[in-house]
Amino acid sequence: MKFLKVNINTAAPRDPEASILLIYTGGTIGMVSDKEDQHLVPFDFSEVIHRVPEMRQFKVMLTVLSQDPPIDSSNVGVDHWIRLAQIIQVNYQEYDGFVILHGTDTMAYSASALSFLLENLEKPVIFTGAQVPIGRMRTDARRNLITALEIASAHRMGKTLVPEVSIFFNTVLLRGNRSTKVESRHFNAFHSGKYPQLAKAGIDIEYNPPAILPAPTRPLHVYQELESQVAIIKLFPGISPTLIKAILEAEGLKGVVLETFGAGNAPTYPWFLALLREAIDRGITILNVSQCEEGEVHQGQYETSMYLKEMGVVGGYDLSTEAAVTKLMFVLAQNLSKEKIAEVLQTDLRGEMTSR
C-alpha cells in the first residue's frame, strides 16, 4: 500500500495557525465523472485546490498524502489501519492535527480501530468523507472537508480542542468509536446513539467540552498489531445450529462479537449454550453487544442472559458493533491471559464504552 506526497499549491500562509496532514485514502469524496460521464473514477488529488478553492483561505500549512491507488472503503482491512497509525506516528511531532479522507461505508470501523491503536492521543485525528462526489455540483465533500480542517486546526491556549479520533460528517463531530453509518442516501450519514456529539457545526462550531476526552498526561503510544481471526454473529430468531457451529468451530478463530437481543439476551436452547460453552473452553473470547441502537448489555438481568454470564461470555455494555469488533482485534493481539482479556474488554480504554 503506497501513499504519495501530493504537492498542492495552497499559497502557504506566512504565519500559519496550524499544520495539518491530510491523508486521502479513497471513497466517494474523491470521485469525479469519467470523460464519457458514465462512471465515477478517483480524481487526481493534486486538483483538490481547484475543487475546493476555499482551502486557500485557511491559515494552515497543509500537506497531503494520497493513497495510490485510492480505494473504496469496502476494501479496507487490518493492514490499512496499521499503516494509517504508522503514518500518524511518523508525522506526529510535525503536525498539529490529522484529517483522513475515507469512504463512508467502513469509516466507523476505521475510526474505531485507529482509536485503539493510538493510545494517549494528544492531537485531533478526524475522519471525513462525502455522500456526493467532490466533482458533482451538490457535493457535501467541500463542507465536510473544510469543517474537518477547521476543527483539526482549532486550539485554545496552545491546546487542541479535540484530542481524540473522531468523525466529522454533515453537521456533527462524533467520537469515532461511538459512531455508526446509518444513512446511505442523505447527508447525515453518521449517528452516535449512545454518546453525545463532540461538536455541532452551524453558523459557529459549538464544542461540547464535557463530552470530549481530556488531553493525556503520557506520550503517544502506537500499537502495531491487530488479531484478524474474529467473527460477528448477529442472532435472529430461528438461527440454525449448523451456522453457529460452523462459525464457532472455524479454524484459528480467536474471538466472536455476539450481537444479542435487547439488554444482552440470547436463546436458551441447550444446543446453543453447549456450542458457546465449548468455544469458551477452547479459549475463544465471546463479547456480548446489543442489537439495540440505545441502551446497554446487562448480563444476568433476564434468565436469557444469565447462562451467558455464568459460562464466561464477556458483557460489552454499550459498545457499538464497530467498536466491539475492533476492540476485540486490538485486545486479542496482545497475548493476554483469558482473565486479563475479559478485564480489558470491560474497561473503557478510549471512551468507547460506558462501563459500570
Grid coordinates in use for 142?
467541500
Least separation in angstroms between residue 32's CB and ligand ASP is 14
Phi, psi of 277 (to 5 degrees): -60, -45
Site string for ligand ASP, 231-260 (x = CB under 6 A): ------------------------------
Pick between residue 71 and residue 276 the one whose CB is nearest to ligand ASP.
71
Taking the C-alpha atoms of residue 325 and residue 253, their distance in angstroms, rounded to an integer, is 13
The answer to whether the CB of 304 falls within 8 A of the CB of 265 is yes
Pick between residue 72 and residue 225 the one whose CB is nearest to ligand ASP.
72
Is 128 among the catalytic positions? Answer: no
Least separation in angstroms between residue 7's CB and ligand ASP is 25
Residue 111: name the closest of 170, 181, 171, 212 by CA: 181
> Per CB under 6 A, which region of 36-44, 66-74, 167-175, 328-336 contacts ligand ASP?
66-74
Site string for ligand ASP, 104-123 (x = CB under 6 A): xx------------------
Question: Does 170 sit near ligand ASP (CB under 6 A)?
Answer: no
Residues 6+ apart with CB under 8 A from 52: 134, 141, 142, 145, 146
Taking the C-alpha atoms of residue 146 and residue 143, their distance in angstroms, rounded to an integer, is 5
Pick one of 47, 68, 72, 183: the residue that binds ligand ASP (CB under 6 A): 72
Question: Does 288 sit near ligand ASP (CB under 6 A)?
Answer: no
Taking the C-alpha atoms of residue 12 and residue 10, their distance in angstroms, rounded to an integer, is 5
Instruction: Label residue 353 exposed, middle or buried (CB < 10 Å: 0-12, 13-18, 19+).
Output: buried
Residue with cell 456480548: 288
Pick between residue 25 and residue 288 the one whose CB is nearest to ligand ASP.
25
Pick between residue 42 and residue 255 the one whose CB is nearest to ligand ASP.
42
> Per CB under 6 A, which region of 25-33, 81-89, 229-237, 299-307 contacts ligand ASP?
25-33
The answer to whether the CB of 285 falls within 8 A of the CB of 342 is yes
Pick between residue 103 and residue 255 the one whose CB is nearest to ligand ASP.
103
DSSP string, 86-121: HHHHHHTTT-SEEEEE--STTHHHHHHHHHHHEET-
Q: Give the CB-nearest residue to ligand ASP.
A: 103
Among candidate residues 28, 160, 260, 326, the one labeled active-site is 28
> Per CB under 6 A, which region of 43-51, 67-75, 253-261, 311-319 contacts ligand ASP?
67-75
Taking the C-alpha atoms of residue 286 and residue 54, their distance in angstroms, rounded to an integer, is 48
Least separation in angstroms between residue 16's CB and ligand ASP is 29
Pick between residue 10 and residue 192 the one whose CB is nearest to ligand ASP.
192
Least separation in angstroms between residue 244's CB and ligand ASP is 30
> Per CB under 6 A, which region of 100-108, 112-120, 270-278, 313-321 contacts ligand ASP?
100-108
Least separation in angstroms between residue 172's CB and ligand ASP is 16
Is residue 308 helix, strand or coil?
helix
Question: Does 27 sit near ligand ASP (CB under 6 A)?
Answer: yes
Is beta strand 155-156 parallel, antiparallel or unpaired with respect to 159-160? antiparallel
Grid coordinates in use for 306?
444469565
Pick between residue 109 and residue 317 the one whose CB is nearest to ligand ASP.
109
The answer to whether the CB of 46 falls within 8 A of the CB of 74 is no
Pick one of 42, 129, 176, 264: the residue that binds ligand ASP (CB under 6 A): 129
Pick one of 103, 163, 255, 316: the residue that binds ligand ASP (CB under 6 A): 103
Residues 6+ apart with CB under 8 A from 180: 108, 190, 191, 192, 193, 293, 320, 321, 322
Residues with a catalytic annotation lie at: 28
- Where does this chain bind ligand ASP (CB under 6 A)? 26-28, 72-74, 103-105, 129, 131
